[in-house]
């Protein structure tokens, strides 16, 4: 797999957020995998809350999907990924996280594409908050992509999502162990009761005298604390809470009627965060005024995180879009 290393990030100048905060300079770092830019169709991958632009290769978080001979084949496509400014991957940190909304990040990504002289991409794909950013990009620039693939996400944060993000924010601002405790709560949203039952079966850890579910949750909290920054978590949680392409804008139908892009919504039947019911309602609304829209569902007990776990199902759902050979079920 070829990797095009870009030594310097794009510098976004004089950026004013929706909330009126002025940032004189915002660094936008990115990676390019596969074929060089401008030599092949471009797939833009938007990362989720604790992800980054390292989508494949060593430490790549989506290696099951992206790479040589994979569904998104790096021998056929240029795969581009931006780091959300302030996500902690580079040295840039945003302390005033409430300055930003998901739409601001979509605007920054669009400015990044413009700086790279990219007027349209083959696909924008993203899971969770990354998919929310993708929706916002399409609403802002209807012709930016030929395909939109939002996975385990929606075009708006529901009351349930906002409530969980509010709780996350309370933990992050008030706990003596903010990252660990917030992550423990988040894992209850990312998985499902059935997933925990299948994995743990009420077993205990005799060495620690606790249930295995407890030691597993504590492990995930400790693991994130060691690699993630508090300011980054606060920012990404804020973005998850503020997905809404219609806020201070036009109606959903008016916005999406402007695009010719094919929309492939992928839900997860056990998702407790962005529920399948919400995804199906979005699909039914789209079908009223748009023909090239499709809905598919990952069947899994693993909840929201299934888009990172059920790679074989995801491979089959995406194969036709990317003209890829499917792996065996």
CA atoms of 327 and 12, how far apart (whole Å): 40
Where does the pLDDT of residue 5 fall: very low under 50, low under 70, confident under 90, or very high at 90 and above? very low
Where does the pLDDT of residue 248 fall: very low under 50, low under 70, confident under 90, or very high at 90 and above? very high
- Rounded to two decimals, the pTM is 0.95
Tokens of 41: 């169709």
DSSP 58-85: TT-TTTTTEETTSSEETTT-EEEEEPPT
Instruction: Determine the pLDDT at residue 91.
Output: 83
Q: Are 187 and 214 in contact (CB under 8 A)?
A: no
Residues tagged active-site: 128, 271, 304
The overall longest dimension of the chain from CA atoms, in Å, is 60
CA atoms of 70 and 72, how far apart (whole Å): 5
In whole angstroms, how far apart are CA 165 and each of 53, 132, 182, 235? 23, 15, 10, 11
CA atoms of 33 and 175, how far apart (whole Å): 39
Give ∠ CA 130-307-10 in degrees, rounded to 5. 25
The pLDDT tens digits for 193-237 are 999 999 999 999 998 899 999 999 999 999 999 999 999 999 999
Q: What is the mean pLDDT of the chain?
A: 94
CA quadruple 114, 121, 149, 261: dihedral sign: positive
- What is the chain's percent helix, strand, coil content, to nearest 5? 40, 20, 40
Instruction: Determine the pLDDT at residue 28.
Output: 96
Q: Are 243 and 46 in contact (CB under 8 A)?
A: no
Domains with residue ranges and CATH for the chain: 3-157+243-322 (3.40.50.1820), 160-239 (1.10.1740.110)
The pLDDT tens digits for 31-56 are 999 999 999 999 999 999 999 999 99
């Amino acid at each position: 797999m070829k990797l095009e290393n870009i030594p310097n990030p794009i510098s976004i100048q004089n950026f004013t957020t929706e909330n009126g905060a002025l940032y004189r300079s915002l660094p936008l770092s990115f990676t390019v995998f596969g074929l060089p830019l401008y030599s092949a169709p471009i797939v833009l991958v938007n990362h989720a809350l604790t992800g980054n632009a390292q989508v494949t290769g060593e430490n790549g978080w989506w290696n099951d999907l992206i790479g040589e001979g994979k569904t998104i084949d790096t021998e056929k496509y240029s795969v581009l990924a931006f780091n959300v400014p302030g996500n902690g991957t580079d040295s840039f940190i945003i302390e005033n996280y409430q300055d930003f909304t998901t739409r601001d990040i979509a605007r920054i990504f669009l400015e990044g594409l413009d700086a790279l002289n990219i007027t349209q991409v083959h696909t924008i794909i993203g899971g969770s908050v990354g998919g929310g950013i993708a929706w916002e990009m399409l609403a802002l620039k209807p012709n930016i992509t030929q395909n939109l693939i939002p996975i385990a996400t929606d075009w708006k944060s529901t009351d349930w999502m906002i409530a969980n993000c509010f709780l996350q924010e309370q933990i992050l601002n008030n706990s003596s162990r903010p990252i660990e405790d917030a992550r423990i709560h988040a894992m209850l949203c990312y998985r499902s009761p059935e997933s925990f039952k299948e994995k743990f079966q009420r077993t205990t850890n005799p060495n620690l005298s606790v249930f295995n579910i407890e030691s597993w949750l504590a492990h995930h909290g400790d693991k994130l604390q060691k690699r993630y920054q508090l300011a980054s978590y606060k920012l990404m949680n804020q973005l998850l809470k503020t997905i809404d392409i219609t806020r201070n804008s036009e109606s959903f139908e008016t916005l999406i009627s402007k695009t010719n892009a094919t929309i492939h919504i992928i839900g997860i039947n056990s998702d407790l965060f962005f529920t399948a019911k919400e995804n199906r309602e979005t699909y039914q609304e789209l079908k009223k005024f748009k023909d090239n829209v499709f809905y598919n569902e990952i069947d899994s007990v693993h909840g929201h995180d299934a888009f990172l776990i059920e790679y074989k199902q995801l491979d089959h759902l995406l194969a036709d879009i990317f003209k890829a050979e499917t792996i065996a079920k």
